[in-house]
């Protein structure tokens, strides 16, 4: 959970705090500029800054409000009047980090919904500042049917045939496609939130008690960089399915075991190992399967499986013509007892389990010597880090490796991911 909460008093005050890996200036700009607000809070915003100015906020689903600014102390305190209540944001910055406190009095009837909504928004804010600060983004908001109560909606959302929750991770199976990742916010029966690593760290939020309005639920997807370009594809897959699920149209047989609801996405095939690069320095396996249809993506995908019975965890990459390949490194060649020119038997499936990226010591030292690069590196998702690591360790000569590290650090310092 990204926030800590002060227990509500009799007047029903939502009081939340979140610790952010960003300076008070960066947090203030994210709270008080249109570009900043649109990257974590709303679809569109305009701001007339300063005491007596105004905020105009809107969402694509049709909600909007305009409020006056009644406190404006840059990097310290912002108050917006939203009669009959106010919203106060208090910032306390130290050593490049900031504690943000939100105080929002509300009525007793709206307390739970308001608390859940703000918890979700602050989780969005932390995700943006920690991992995507400065990156342009986008969002999709999809209204969903909601049963008569949030509790019934939660039962349908997380019951058999719905979202599968295992510890701090979730997974969704829609036909032959699978989506999943770590949970960053769960507040039954109102909000479920997580990230989708295979979709460039896109945020997924399902809200079953949107501002306390009856019969109203929402799916919100928020992506940055490459993830923003894929939001329509993701919304097209998840929106209709969630609509059917919450509308009662998707249900597993009551006697069906939960594990029987999961679809086996393992694909088995034979392929010839290709030698690429100077004198066949690199080896690849070109996949003879339709990856977008089978695995539901046109982008890089983490996979696991076996080659000639030898287990691996790797990634497959698009070739630009609709086909995909997987690098076949020396360790895999030794384990599979195969090399360029050989035909190998492959079993492969998507791998959405978390990965620890092993960073070589020379890259660690170079990052530690460059403060901007080190800061961006910590914000990168594991997939982006892994691409840099693989590119560096594939260098066979020491001087080539050194040049790649120098180039990598320069790009990372600018927040650029390896393409």
326 and 368: one domain?
no
Greater confidence, 40 or 309? 40
Q: Which of 248-257, 297-306, 348-357 has the lowest mean pLDDT?
A: 248-257
128 and 2: one domain?
yes
Provide the domain count of the chain: 4
pLDDT of res. 328: 87
Residue 262 lies in a domain: no
182 and 83: one domain?
no
95 and 164: one domain?
no
Out of 197, 223, 250, a domain closes at 250
pLDDT digits (tens, 9 = 90+) for 339-375: 898 999 998 888 876 656 678 888 988 988 888 888 8
Q: Residue 280 pLDDT more than 60? A: no
The pLDDT-based confidence of 260 (bands split at 50, 70, 90) is very low
Provide the CATH number for the domain around residue 36: 3.30.530.20
304 and 373: one domain?
no
Residue 321 lies in a domain: yes
What is the reported pTM? 0.60
Q: Residue 225 pLDDT more than 70? A: yes
Q: Residue 294 pLDDT more than 80? A: no
51 and 96: one domain?
yes
pLDDT of res. 239: 92
Residue 418 lies in a domain: no
The pLDDT-based confidence of 257 (bands split at 50, 70, 90) is very low
Q: Residue 10 pLDDT more than 60? A: no
Three-state DSSP string of the chain: CCEEECCCCCCCEEEEEEEECCCHHHHHHHHHCHHHHHCCCCCEEEEECCCCCEEEEECCCCCEEEEEEEEEECCCEEEEEECCEEEEEEEEEECCEEEEEEEEECCHHHHHHHHHHHHHHHHHHHHHHHHCCCCCEEEEEEEECCCCCHHHHHHHHHCCCCCEEECCEEEEEECCEEEEEEEEEEECCCEEEEEEHHHCCEEEEEECCHHHCCCCEEEEEEEEHHHHHHHHHHHHHHHHHHHHHHCCCCCCCCCCCHHHHCCCCCEEEEEEEEEECHHHCEEEEECCCCHHHHHCCCCCEEEEEEECCEEEEEEEEECCCCCEEEECCHHHHHHHCCCCCCEEEEEEEECCCCCCCCCCHHHHHHHHCCHHHHHHHHHCCHHHHHHHHHHHHCCCCHHHHHHHHHHHHHHHHCCCCCC
Residue 259 lies in a domain: no
Q: Which of 108-112, 126-130, 243-247, 404-408 has the lowest mean pLDDT?
A: 108-112
- Domain of residue 88 covers 1-132
11 and 120: one domain?
yes
Residue 68 lies in a domain: yes
1 and 128: one domain?
yes
Q: Average model confidence (pLDDT) for the chain?
A: 84
pLDDT of res. 15: 93
């Amino acid at each position: 959970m990204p926030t800590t909460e002060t227990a509500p008093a009799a007047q029903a005050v939502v009081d939340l705090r979140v610790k952010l890996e960003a300076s008070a200036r960066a947090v203030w700009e994210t709270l008080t500029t249109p570009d900043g607000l649109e990257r974590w809070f709303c679809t569109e915003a305009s701001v007339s800054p300063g005491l007596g100015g105004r905020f105009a906020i809107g969402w694509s689903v049709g909600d909007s409000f305009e409020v006056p600014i009644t406190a404006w102390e840059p990097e310290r305190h912002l108050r917006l009047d939203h009669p009959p209540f106010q919203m106060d944001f208090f910032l306390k910055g130290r050593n490049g980090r900031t504690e943000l406190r939100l105080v929002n009095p509300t009525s007793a009837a709206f307390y739970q919904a308001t608390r859940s909504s703000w918890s979700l928004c602050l989780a969005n804010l932390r995700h943006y500042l920690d991992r995507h600060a400065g990156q342009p983004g986008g969002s999709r908001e999809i209204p969903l049917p909601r049963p008569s109560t949030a509790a019934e909606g939660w039962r349908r959302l997380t019951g058999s045939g719905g979202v599968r929750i295992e510890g701090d991770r979730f997974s969704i199976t829609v036909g032959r496609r699978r989506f999943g990742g770590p949970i960053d916010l769960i507040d039954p029966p109102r909000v479920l939130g997580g990230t989708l690593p295979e979709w460039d760290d896109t945020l997924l939020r399902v809200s079953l008690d949107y501002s306390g309005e009856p019969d109203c639920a929402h799916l919100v997807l928020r992506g940055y960089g490459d993830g923003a370009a894929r939001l329509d594809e993701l919304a097209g897959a998840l929106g209709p399915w969630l609509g059917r699920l919450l509308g009662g149209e998707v249900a597993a047989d009551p006697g069906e075991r939960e594990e029987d609801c999961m679809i086996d996405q393992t694909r088995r095939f034979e392929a010839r190992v290709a030698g690429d690069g100077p004198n066949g320095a690199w080896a690849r396996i070109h996949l003879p399967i339709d990856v977008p249809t089978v695995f539901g993506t046109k982008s890089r995908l983490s996979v696991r499986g076996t080659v000639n019975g030898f287990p691996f965890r790797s990634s497959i990459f698009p070739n630009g013509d609709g086909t995909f390949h997987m690098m076949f490194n020396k360790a895999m060649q030794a384990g599979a007892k195969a090399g360029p020119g050989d035909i190998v038997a492959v079993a492969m499936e998507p791998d959405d389990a978390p990965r620890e990226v092993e960073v070589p010591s020379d890259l660690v030292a170079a990052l530690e010597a460059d403060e901007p690069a080190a800061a961006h590196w910590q914000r990168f998702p594991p997939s982006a880090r892994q691409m840099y690591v693989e590119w560096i360790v594939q260098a066979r000569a020491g001087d080539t490796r050194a040049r790649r590290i120098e180039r990598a650090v320069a790009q990372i310092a600018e927040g650029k991911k390896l393409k």
